[in-house]
Amino acid sequence: MIKNNMAAPWHLVLDDLLPASAQTKTGVWFTPRSGHWAYREGTHSVSLNFDALPGATSGFVIGLKKTLLWYAKNRSSHHVKNLFERIKHFLMIFSGTDSAPLEVITSEMLINYRSSLTPSTHWYLSTLAGLLKKWHRLGYPGVTADAVTFLKQVRLKGNTKGMAVLTMDTQDGPFTDIELQAIQSAFCTAYAQGEVSLSDYMLGWLFMLLGQRPAQYALLKVCDISVARAKDGTEIYILKIPRVKRRQGALRTSVTNRLLTPQIGALLIQYTKVVEEQFIGKLKDTTQAPLFPASRAHRAPPQGFEFHSTAYRLGRHLQTIFNHLKVASERTGKPIHITPTRFRRTIGTRAAIEGHGELVIAELLDHDDTQNVGVYVQATPEIVERIDQAIALQMAPLAQAFAGVLISTEVDAERGSDPTSRIVSPQCTKGFTPVGNCGKHGFCGFMAPIACYTCRNFQAWLDGPHEAVLNHLVAERERLMANTDARIASVNDRTILAVAQVVNQCREAKRAGGKNE
């Protein structure tokens, strides 16, 4: 082992010790002597630009590279990137306070760095500490002994986990049932109108249904979807999800079988045929094609993943797909911030509310243990709140659940001359006065008027008995809440908000028109 002796010309010695090439834990080759490490490990791209590190001597950088080389050989690419980002942040803090290039990290520097961190970034030091301790233990210059002593004595705070789940954070926490229904409705409408491709539609639904990590979807191949038959002849659709964040080096060595709904499963099978056609002539076995191919080629991709997207790009693409929809939240009235992590947290939260324990939730979220899933069980205070007419009318403008249009008379309806387009609801209104017209030709098969208020083809009458519909739905919700499960009682919450929005719009229109309510 090299001894720590800061007087020696270590930058010269260590430069010779850096190999011309090296292999990562998964067998990917890269060039450690380069000032910019760039390689791809499975679906993860690594880009570490040492030349761009601020305010550090060459000796310090070489010691850092030697230490990160150990991590590259023994840890995941994600961990290596995280360590590089933490040391980069540390250097950025001190490059602005000291004109001299940094040669070693001392305890005094760490004390000052700790005081500069905010409650949301205090975990940076905890991650950095692991790197610095290993650095010093390997014997490379750049970290003093007193710095390591300080790190061993000080209480380091880890990354706060679960706060977004516990607080139902509107930006990063799980979606409410109403938000999720709104997202799904807008997503299906966009697909029906040709605004979302089949590939994006499949990707979006897999995130919503399974809540796996972007890296897992990026690893998927056509061969991972299969169809089996039950004893009664029913088709069962199975998707093999590759496991990640495991200790083995190779990718796709462990999978978990996930059942898909018949509707999504059947459509996914059709989609795989489209993907296979794209790779005829490119791959000898088209079933080895990525389920969600990259939009462009990558530099030096690892064997077997030549056409796969990276986890980062796939995650960003999903955000682009959903955030383009601009779905409003009933909690904020603003477009919902939609990310892969929020779908994941929603799966965990809903599983906990339905009574599943930590072991089941850990399996659903592909965790090896239960240490990070307890927060979902803790976060089970009733998310399903009481909704009466007054609350519904107040929340309606925020939720924007009504998808149709308001018309003054039936003459303004697209199918006003067709009596069959009228929508009546005697069970809600105790009569046969229409609540509006349907602008769609043909039978949709959905229950009227429950499904109508959230449908874009619905044309609500200004003088329709919408308040009667609202009163009926609220009363039915209260009855179910008293006699059944809260999850069942809340199934029509988004419809309640949509009807309430129509009631509000009717009142405003009548006031503007000088009519009596």
H or E element, residue 147: helix 145-153
Q: Is the pLDDT at 299 greater than 70, yes or no?
A: no
Residue linked to tokens 């299906």: 188
* pLDDT the model gives residue 147: 95
* pLDDT the model gives residue 515: 45
**For the chain, what is the mean pLDDT?**
86
Within a domain: residue 131?
Answer: yes
* pLDDT the model gives residue 7: 40
* pLDDT the model gives residue 10: 44
Weakest mean pLDDT among 190-199, 316-325, 422-431 = 422-431
Within a domain: residue 291?
Answer: yes
Task: Give yes or no: residues 186 and 324 share one domain.
Answer: yes
Q: Judge contact between 181 and 494, C-beta under 8 A.
A: yes
Residues 473, 186: Cα–Cα separation, whole Å: 23
Task: Give yes or no: residues 404 and 310 share one domain.
Answer: no
What would the DSSP string read from start to end of 48-95? EEGGG-SSB-HHHHHHHHHHHHHHHHHS-HHHHHHHHHHHHHHHHHHH
Q: Judge contact between 206 and 200, C-beta under 8 A.
A: no
Q: How many domains does the chain have?
A: 3
Task: Give yes or no: residues 83 and 181 share one domain.
Answer: no
Within a domain: residue 258?
Answer: yes
% of the chain beyond a pLDDT of 70: 89
Residues 364, 215: Cα–Cα separation, whole Å: 16
* pLDDT the model gives residue 27: 84
Q: Judge contact between 439 and 421, C-beta under 8 A.
A: yes
Nearest to 274 by CA among 193, 202, 194: 202
Task: Give yes or no: residues 197 and 89 share one domain.
Answer: no
* 4-48 pLDDT per residue, tens: 444 444 444 545 578 999 999 888 899 999 999 998 887 788 899
- Dihedral pair phi/psi, residue 46, rounded to 5°: -115, 130
* pLDDT the model gives residue 386: 65
Residue linked to tokens 């082992």: 1
* pLDDT the model gives residue 201: 97
Give mean pLDDT, residues 394-404. Answer: 86
Amino acid at 489: A
Q: Is the pLDDT at 1 greater than 50, yes or no?
A: no
Give mean pLDDT, residues 328-353. Answer: 91
* pLDDT the model gives residue 300: 66
User: How confident is residue 103, by pLDDT bands cut at 50, 70 and 90?
Assistant: very high
* 39-98 pLDDT per residue, tens: 888 778 889 999 989 889 989 999 999 999 999 999 888 899 999 999 999 999 887 666
Within 10 angstroms of residue 19's Cβ, the number of other Cβ atoms is 11
User: How confident is residue 501, by pLDDT bands cut at 50, 70 and 90?
Assistant: very high
Give mean pLDDT, residues 483-489. Answer: 78
Q: Domain of 115?
A: 10-153
* pLDDT the model gives residue 272: 97
Task: Give yes or no: residues 215 and 302 share one domain.
Answer: yes
The larger pLDDT score, comparing residue 373 to residue 112, is at 112
| Domain finish residue from 153, 186, 219 | 153
* pLDDT the model gives residue 71: 94
Residues 238, 430: Cα–Cα separation, whole Å: 46
* 206-255 pLDDT per residue, tens: 999 999 999 999 999 999 999 998 888 889 999 999 988 654 455 788 88
Q: Is the pLDDT at 448 greater than 80, yes or no?
A: no
**CA 491, chain centre distance (Å):** 24
% of the chain beyond a pLDDT of 90: 52
Within a domain: residue 4?
Answer: no
Amino acid at 440: K
Task: Give yes or no: residues 432 and 491 share one domain.
Answer: yes
Residue 168, phi-psi category: left (phi > 0), alpha (psi -120 to 50), beta (remainder):
left
**CA 497, chain centre distance (Å):** 26
* 239-248 pLDDT per residue, tens: 999 988 654 4
Within a domain: residue 136?
Answer: yes
| Domain finish residue from 328, 360, 381 | 328
Within a domain: residue 508?
Answer: yes
Q: Is the pLDDT at 106 greater than 60, yes or no?
A: yes
* pLDDT the model gives residue 65: 96
H or E element, residue 477: helix 466-483
Task: Give yes or no: residues 85 and 147 share one domain.
Answer: yes
Amino acid at 401: A
Task: Give yes or no: residues 401 and 444 share one domain.
Answer: yes
Nearest to 405 by CA among 472, 507, 501: 501
The larger pLDDT score, comparing residue 489 to residue 134, is at 134
Within a domain: residue 54?
Answer: yes
* pLDDT the model gives residue 179: 93
Q: Most confidently modeled of 26-30, 242-246, 314-318, 453-457?
A: 314-318
Residue 298 makes CB contacts below 8 A (sequence gap 6+) with: 40, 45, 306, 310
**Token pair for 487:** 């999850």
Nearest to 406 by CA among 504, 515, 327, 496: 504
Task: Give yes or no: residues 120 and 191 share one domain.
Answer: no
Within 10 angstroms of residue 399's Cβ, the number of other Cβ atoms is 24
| Domain finish residue from 310, 328, 346 | 328
**CA 257, chain centre distance (Å):** 20
Task: Give yes or no: residues 232 and 140 share one domain.
Answer: no
Task: Give yes or no: residues 228 and 282 share one domain.
Answer: yes
3 state SS of 331? coil
Within a domain: residue 163?
Answer: no
The CATH number for 249's domain is 1.10.443.10
Task: Give yes or no: residues 240 and 290 share one domain.
Answer: yes
The larger pLDDT score, comparing residue 2 to residue 35, is at 35
